[in-house]
Structure 1
């Protein structure tokens, strides 16, 4: 099984912490040549660059807010200027603000769809354009959410934005299959990430014990970890998953659909 990413130049969004960071480190540890990371925190970005370089890969950080209209071009231009090509893209960044049919605002809708669907779409557009120009195959993985199947009521806007990216994943995979540009997605279940800890302990006011309480209710006694998601992402980026494309994989501890009587 060929899991090597040797010689690859990747973009990983949302990579200063959580799933994006874990994906970048997994890629570096498996032979990636160069990785462009992005986020809003320069200190965290510098720390992740150092971690990647310690694993033997080149790394470059770009400060970018994916809600901004020019974010996709800012990130893609930096990758092309620094590394000369884009062989793979992982859209790992995500905004998870709570918003239901009753509480959501137009501003929340616009921000979540910009970060979770619009900017990923246009980053895919730029990556695919580079792959086509060079007539080279490539791989794209979009980190989605188990909420694409319907979602919790307080995650209506978030779920809609991830569902949009899920459709884009399949549509683009079909459009570019004969160019051997493989595009897959992961419907990520509930994961223990730094952002999720802040959301539940502080923003939602559940306190420091929320994680242990929720972990005890899971089949494996824990939430997913960023490393769990990174390993699956790595498989989808690597030659080991060829020729699969257009797949949306539920990475969750329970099967979607069945219910106890």
Structure 2
């Protein structure tokens, strides 16, 4: 079965750039009837929404900071007001600030958990309530990270947020399988996103040549790209995913548990 989203309304967070924007593009190409997009950058978000609307897909953008406790309910309510339903949710947005056990502080801990774990939880809560009321099922995909398995030392707090969301993914899948709501997650590996380019080249000071050096060290000779994750996300959101639920897929070229 082809991974199609014909007739479905999908809410996507972090959709103003990178992975979230790529998922929105593929969802539109896959026949989505409506897209509810969000992100912090209103200028970029409105541009994405206008581009997809001109391509023939009804698209709504609402600027929101997921650190705001009211944001999840506002997003789902806006989606329901515009489209009358929600068939799928892709929790893509996340903060990737680095902090280890030795340098993390309470403010960073709170900020990362608010955006990376609390916001997806309540987005799922409101989406699930709407899906149950409609009694037509639905699908949720949470973008996680390979760091959820353990994480590198400088990503201790970030890794913990993704570990929490991994558990919530399975908990929601178990709780709502009889509602025919599928909940799955993708443990994303090292991906060449715009944010990662800035992080590696500028923030971490590796310079412009970091991509070539990184790719030479990888089994398949390249980093993942947003299109790789978007393909799997749309598959999981679509009916092609069948009754699969509670799955946490490692989308990476290293195998967990094997000595590299």
Equivalent residue for 2:154? 154
| Alignment partner, residue 88 of structure 2 | 88
Secondary structure of 2:259's counterpart equals coil
* Aligned equivalent of 1:219: 219
2:4 corresponds to 1:4: yes
CA contact (8 A) 1:25 1:51 kept: no
Cα distance per residue 1:91-128 (max 9 Å; x no partner): 01111000100011111111111111100000000000
Deviation of 1:74 (Å)? 2.0
Partner residue in 2 for 1:251: 251
SS at match of 2:139: strand
Structure 2 residue aligned with 1:42:
42
Once the two structures are overlaid, the 10-residue window that deviates more, 150-159 or 48-57, is 48-57
Displacement of 1:55:
3.5
> How far apart in 2 are the matches of 1:208 and 1:67?
32
Post-superposition CA distance 1:45-76 (Å, at most 9, x none): 12211332243211111111111111111211
* More displaced stretch, 216-225 vs 240-249: 216-225
Give the alignment's TM-score, normalised by structure 1.
0.97
Alpha-carbon distance between aligned partners in 2 of 1:223 and 1:153, rounded to the nearest angstrom: 21
In the alignment, structure 1 residue 58 sits paired with structure 2 residue 58: yes
Alpha-carbon distance in structure 1 between the residues aligned to 2:55 and 2:228: 19
* TM-score in terms of structure 2 length: 0.97
Query: What is the SS of the residue equivalent to 2:191?
Result: coil
Question: Helix, strand or coil: the match of 2:140?
Answer: strand
In the alignment, which residue of structure 2 is the partner of 1:238? 238
User: Aligned equivalents of 2:80 and 2:96: distance in 1?
Assistant: 29
Looking at structure 2, the residues matched to 79 and 30 of structure 1 have their Cα atoms a distance apart, in angstroms, of 19
SS in 2 for 1:144: strand
Q: Gapped runs of 5+ residues in structure 1?
A: none
Q: Is contact 1:88-1:138 (8 Å) kept?
A: yes
C-alpha distance in structure 1 between counterparts of 2:181 and 2:14, whole Å: 22
CA–CA separation in structure 2 for the residues paired with 1:248 and 1:55: 33
Does residue 28 (structure 1) correspond to residue 36 (structure 2)? The answer is no
> Post-superposition shift, 1:43?
1.6
Shift of 1:221: 1.6
CA distance in structure 2 between the aligned counterparts of 1:34 and 1:212, rounded to whole angstroms: 38
In 2, Cα distance between equivalents of 1:108 and 1:53: 37
